[in-house]
A and B are shown apart, each in its own frame.
Chain A
Amino acid sequence: MTDHLGELAALYALGILEPDEQRAAEEHLTHCDACRRLLAQAEADVAAMAAAQPQLEPPGMLRAPQPALRAPMRNPMWLAVAAAVAIAVLPSGYLLQQNLAMHQSELMESQAMARLMTGPHRTVAFAGTDARVMYAPDGSWYCIIVRGASAPFHVMWSHDGTQTMLGTAMPHGDIALLYLPKSHRMDQLSLMQDGHVVGQAQLVF
């Protein structure tokens, strides 16, 4: 975005921009002081709205997570080491991973929803489970959904006497979901957990 934010600053502060507009606004804000000031005012207005709603005491004491969080290191030489340590050792590294996983899962949900809402599709159950695969009649996408899942499920494609691992449906909330954009038809899918096949689906094209 090369134009200044103008009225979009208010929409950005309210969190109601479309995702592509939001990304463009964020990019513009990295180098435009005038728009940062404009946004600061809009954020102050939204914060005033939030403060004017009834204020609630958090249940128990709301404290900063312990142990101490480490601020990001600015020396690039140390970044890789710091990231590795954070991911491998610190609980805060886990938090970061969790955030990344959450956003990835949101992206997958959005894509799946867009397909299911707009495109024609078929639905087949995985025999013996509460899981289903919804897929495009031309094989261009597949959406595997397991309800009531509390652990990950691996999804395999059986073809020509071999099994190809397609991905893992990770639980998020009450469902595990895997969205697969593909360019070919797959007529036999299996769900696996702990090394065992727990369900099979026969797709029809």
Chain B
Amino acid sequence: MRLAPGDEAFAAAFAAKERWAFDEAYTRFGKLLYSTAYHVLGSPEDAQDCVHDALTRVWRSPDSYLRSRGALRSFLTVCVRNEAITRLRSKVRRRKLEERVAAEPAENEELGAIDVIERDRLRAALRSLPPEQRRPLELAYFEYKTHVEIARELNEPLGTVKSRIALGLRKLGTALGASE
């Protein structure tokens, strides 16, 4: 019977592509990764597919995860979230294409399938940020807008938006007890 390895040994085994570490990633982080994907995609099936595809891609790419990248949990969470955002953007694009094809007036709505800002610990933590940092971070995290789109929407210079997002993210991470 394999004893549960420590975080360091587990991350090192994942970096070294030891098969048991791939299974262990599902055991340890499955719920977090699934929830992360679900909050973006709003569908259980899509969320599961997204977790599988993101982890498979990481596993199959040589040197995708290096120990110098920091905590494996954070790395995989960001990989799954980015995969989910890519899928969501593709879904929005396809829907707009369909609208074009059907010769209906294009709607500039964003995907409204998910009630994005749930009443949760994250929302409470966001309230602790000054509004000029909170708003761009909300647009980035919950609405998946690029920094260019955010700057346009808030009518702020790009550099200002970048700084505020970076500053807001670090403050929020500290408030939520993020550790590398």
Contacts and interface: CB of A to CB of B under 8 A. Distances in A.
B38 to A, nearest CB: 6
A3 interface: no
A150 interface: no
B162 to A, nearest CB: 5
B94 to A, nearest CB: 5
Nearest to B179: A44
A113 B96 contact: yes
Interface residues of A, number: 68
Interface residues on B, range: 35 or more
Interface string B131-169: 000000000110011111010000000000011011001
Interface of B: 17-19, 22-23, 25-26, 30-32, 34-36, 38-39, 44, 47-48, 51-53, 55-57, 59-62, 66, 68-71, 73-75, 77-78, 81-82, 85-86, 90-91, 93-94, 96-98, 100-103, 118, 120-122, 125, 140-141, 144-148, 150, 162-163, 165-166, 169-170, 172-173, 176-180
Given A44-B173, A102-B90, A177-B97, 16 more contacts: A10-B165, A11-B166, A40-B69, A41-B170, A41-B178, A45-B169, A46-B81, A49-B176, A50-B35, A53-B39, A55-B31, A56-B34, A64-B23, A106-B90, A116-B100, A174-B94
